[in-house]
Homo-oligomer: A and B are copies of this chain.
Amino acid sequence: MRICVAQLDFHIGHFEQNTQKMLDAIQVAKDQKADLVCFSELATCGYPPRDFLEFNDFISRSNASIDRLAKAADTIAVVVGGPAVNPVVEGKDLYNAAYFLYEGEIKQVFRKALLPTYDVFDEYRYFEPGHSFTTLDFKGVRLAITICEDLWNLGNENPLYTICPMDELMPAKPQVMINISASPFAWDHAEERIHVLKANVERYRLPLFYVNHCGAQTELLFDGGSLIFSPDGMVHDELPYFKEAIRTYELSDVIAGGIQHEQSKDKNQLIHDGLVMGIGDYFRKLGFKKAILGLSGGIDSALSTVLAVRALGKENVRVLLMPSPFSSQHSVDDARALAENLGIHYDIIPIQSVYASYLDTFKPYFNDLPFNVTEENIQARIRGMLLMGFSNKFGHILLNTTNKSEMAVGYGTLYGDLCGGLSVIGDVYKTEVFALCKWINAEAEIIPWNTINKPPSAELRPNQKDSDSLPEYDILDPILYQYIEKTQGPQEIIAQGFDEKTVLRILRLVNINEFKRHQTAPVLRVSAKAFGMGRRMPIVAKYLN
């Protein structure tokens, strides 16, 4: 038997395009002489459809796609994910299902049992968990078909669920595991995925065909990296990251084992490629082409601009350099050097006259009150407004260039440098920004080395440096990581050797700035815990603040 893994990029709600893409892939699979082709989880409607699942109209359209695919599944079988209506009145109205299509009809529907409801996942919001477990015989081979999380209750010390669906299926003596998935990227996730799937293969001693979604859906990046495991636990094949791919395997070859074909997993490469895909898909899926960014001469906007150029092409990226009275000459020089290295259109628009008109307007009310964060924010907001002006007039999307460290402690101006339709590096800590810039510069100076090497500054008052108000980033970032990614409390972090006062101050800053993060752009997610839909915090809480 020949099994085809079709790792494709689906667009949420775009039933026509998703269906056509699968119909085309079915033809490719036939050309590759496959008996069976597998598509990813909720492939009909795209993952995650979120509250569109509550619309009957949306479900009807998905069902219509399944019907069209079933017609195409004539001499080839198709496994495809889509929502399925729960026929029983009690319980949620839908199942997260895998349809087995063959001979022009729906042969069987498998229901997902383990519904991830944590971090970015909300599946129990929509779906009833499956309770019954059956295999399916196809051309003399018994298949155990599961959906994503159904295999994830193994290989960790604190399992989230009380059952393992494969344990329920094993008495039926399946010969092959198929798992259809929509598992989002984090830079260390491909490794974890292999660990978990390998735990399944080793426990059940079966070959595994694991097909993942690829492509970005707003903040969520799906990296693909679909996997074919031999029963000996070896990775027979791993499909590319961040790219569509359709590959067919002879089952006997996979069962024979002995081949290990895994891709390299370089952190900088993965984050880089993930962000480039994330920017590109955001624009393509929204029907936009052109981006605008503010270029300060600092490292965050420099990195964001490089990524935007790689995603959209240099002809589609425009930058504004907007010096204020407090900007240094080297900032303008560094920003200009980057724009010239990249060959992108740039304009230098000083903000001094608008700034002066604001100060004049405020003067009767502010009187002689001293310069403070108000005036700093005015500068940041003028820049945001100039960028939005260009965005509105010429149809650019403004890209936000705030990094994760700043986002965490609220070191940014709401409606100022926090403006933008998409946050490019809001899930990349400042220390990781440095590493990524150096990695980008490995072969040639793309980002001016001066931008990378000078002390970070917002330049909103004379001689300002980030370290005036924040600890150095090599102290700050590990504390943030422990709090945000590892959910460690103050005592646990202090016990790791960090200064108590610093820890308490940082955690307080994170918590009191929840209101800012509530209003920022979606953040491309590259870590296991990004700001946004995966981290849900109350704003009016009184905890550690």
Residues of chain A at the chain B interface (Cβ within 8 Å): 11-14, 17, 46, 48-52, 54-58, 60, 89-93, 115, 117-118, 122, 124-125, 157-162, 216-218, 281-282, 285-286, 347, 349, 351, 353-354, 356-358, 360-362, 365-366, 369, 372-374, 377-378, 381-382, 384-386, 388-390, 392-393, 414-415, 419, 421, 487-492, 515, 518-522, 533, 535-544
A162 CB contact (under 8 Å) in B12, B90, B159, B533: B90
Query: Nearest-CB distance from A365 to chain B (Å)?
Result: 7
Q: Determine the residue in chain B with the shortest Cβ distance to A514.
A: B218
Residues of B within 8 A of A161 (CB): 90-91
Query: How many whole Å from A54's CB to the nearest CB in chain B?
Result: 5
Residues of B within 8 Å of A392, CB to CB, are 372-374, 377
Pick the contact of A14 from B11, B55, B537, B542 — CB < 8 Å? B542
The answer to whether A360 touches B365 (Cβ under 8 A) is: no
Closest beta carbon of chain B to A480's beta carbon, Å: 14
> Nearest B residue to A125 by beta-carbon distance?
B117
Which one, B347, B353, B357, B537, contacts A51 given CB within 8 A?
A: B537
How far does the Cβ of A225 sit from chain B's closest Cβ, in whole Å? 21
Q: Which residues of B contact A421 (CB under 8 A)?
A: 515
Nearest-neighbor residue (CB-CB) of A373 within chain B: B392
Which of B160, B374, B492 sits near A393, CB closer than 8 Å? B374
Which B residues are CB-close (under 8 A) to A50?
536-538
Task: State the Cβ distance, A424 to closest chain B Cβ, in Å.
Answer: 15
Docked pose: A55 CA to B529 CA in angstroms: 14
- Sample (20) of A-B pairs whose CB atoms are under 8 Å apart: A11-B541, A14-B543, A17-B542, A46-B541, A57-B490, A58-B489, A90-B159, A90-B161, A91-B162, A118-B125, A122-B122, A286-B540, A354-B354, A356-B357, A357-B357, A362-B393, A366-B393, A374-B389, A388-B414, A533-B536
Alpha-carbon gap, A385 to B375, bound state (A): 11
- Contact in complex: A122, B536 (CB < 8 Å): yes
Q: Which residues of B contact A55 (CB under 8 A)?
A: 487-489
Question: With A369-B393, A377-B392, A415-B419 as given contacts, are A57 and B14 in contact (CB-CB < 8 Å)?
Answer: no
**9 smallest A-B Cβ distances: which pairs?**
A57-B489, A13-B543, A14-B542, A374-B392, A357-B357, A285-B540, A13-B541, A12-B541, A124-B124
| Residue pair B384, A415 in contact (C-beta under 8 Å) | yes
Taking the nearest CB of chain B, how far is it from the CB of A160, in angstroms? 6
From residue A20, how far is it (CB to closest CB) to chain B in Å? 13
In the complex, how many angstroms separate the beta carbon of A414 from the nearest chain B beta carbon?
8
Once the chains bind, are B162 and A539 in contact (CB under 8 Å)? no
| Complex-state Cα separation, A492 to B60, whole angstroms | 12
Q: A55-B487, A361-B354 are in contact. Are A388 and B393 (CB under 8 A)?
A: no
Chain B residues contacting A48 (CB-CB under 8 Å) are 538
Task: Give the complex CA separation of A385 and B347 in angstroms.
Answer: 24
Q: How far is the CA of A541 from the CA of B287 in the complex (A)?
A: 11
Q: How far is the CB of A393 from chain B (nearest CB, A)?
A: 4
Query: Smallest Cβ distance from A245 to chain B, in angstroms?
Result: 22
B541:A57 contact, CB within 8 angstroms: no
Q: Are A491 and B57 in contact (CB under 8 A)?
A: yes
Give the contacting residue for A415; candidates B54, B56, B388, B489; CB below 8 A.
Answer: B388
Residues of chain B within 8 A of A12, CB atoms compared:
538, 540-543
A92 to chain B: which residues have CB within 8 Å?
A: 160
Chain B: CB-nearest residue to A60: B489
Contact A49:B538 (CB < 8 A) given known A89-B157, A158-B89, A365-B390? yes
